[in-house]
Amino acid sequence: MNLNKKIDMKKLAELAGILLGDGSICLKDGIVNTNNRLKITFNTKDDAQYITYVKDLIKDLFGVEPIVKPRKYEKNTTDIFLFKKGIILFLINEIGLRLSPKWNRAVIPKMFLLDNLQLYVLRGYFDTDGSLVTTNNNGVVYPRLEMKVCPSPMQNQFMMILQKYGFNFGFYQIGKGKVRIQLNGKDQLIRWLGLVGFSNEKHTNKVKRFL
């Protein structure tokens, strides 16, 4: 583990987005009584390329090889684990990420709301917890970007980022405080590709259907 080297802030912002999406951060004596652990969960089949991408991202940032472990009794689920307490404390104390659970707590750290780093947080979040779907409007098929966000400060933060960069989006309550943020149409997809982009091939492969 090498936290003394200069860290690529864009990659760190993307990892923060990933953790805010399908990740969890735990300390042995923290809110969740478990081991010191960073965990990110993936769909084994759909995210095959992305699992390798995230593993390499973590290794590049911290110089540590994370553990990639398919779940024994959930055949289509794979987890990435990191058990280094020093890295976890760095992410909490220096970066500003919150311990799990994310419900009512998750927040985008202030340092990533500067410059264009927030776009990398947005990419990481969408790559893990977003979806690109097709809708049919009177016989015309068009794309829709969707991401669901649990009740937490990051709901408003994501909306502020989208507003700042000129996206048109809808914001819908879907129960228990959760919201769906939705960007409709080809123009919004093109704008997303130009400003945010994807690191997960399952999204880029779908884009080819429209562009």
Strand boundaries in the chain, DSSP class E: 23-26, 37-43, 67-70, 77-82, 130-137, 140-149, 170-175, 178-184
What's the confidence (pLDDT) of residue 181? 98
What's the confidence (pLDDT) of residue 144? 95
What's the confidence (pLDDT) of residue 158? 98
What structural domains and CATH numbers belong to the chain? Answer: 9-105 (3.10.28.10), 123-207 (3.10.28.10)
Provide the whole-model pTM: 0.94
What's the confidence (pLDDT) of residue 148? 97
Q: Is 46 left (phi over 0), alpha (psi -120 to 50) or beta?
A: alpha
DSSP letter at 113 equals G
What's the confidence (pLDDT) of residue 16? 98
CA distances from 185 to 94, 99, 140, 143, 146 (A): 39, 36, 11, 5, 11
What's the confidence (pLDDT) of residue 114? 87
Q: How many other C-beta atoms can be found within 10 angstroms of the C-beta atom of residue 108? A: 26
What's the confidence (pLDDT) of residue 210? 75
69-101 pLDDT, tens digit per residue, is 999 988 899 999 999 999 999 999 999 999 999
What's the confidence (pLDDT) of residue 77? 97
Each residue of 120-137: b (16+ CB within 10 Å) or e? bbbbbbbbbbbebeeeee
Separation between Cα atoms, residue 101 and residue 78, nearest integer Å? 20
Quote the tokens at residue 82. 């990191």
What's the confidence (pLDDT) of residue 141? 80
What's the confidence (pLDDT) of residue 195? 98
What's the burial of 162, exposed, middle or buried (CB within 10 Å: 0-12/13-18/19+)? buried
Quote the tokens at residue 120. 């990398």
CA distances from 33 to 26, 73, 136, 150, 167 (A): 8, 23, 46, 22, 40
- Please list the rounded mean pLDDT of every run of 10 residues in the chain (211 residues): 73 98 86 77 96 98 96 93 95 95 96 94 97 84 94 97 97 96 95 98 89 71
Separation between Cα atoms, residue 82 and residue 67, nearest integer Å? 6
Per DSSP, the chain holds a count of helices (H) and strands (E) of: 7, 8
Residue where the block lists tokens 């990892």: 15
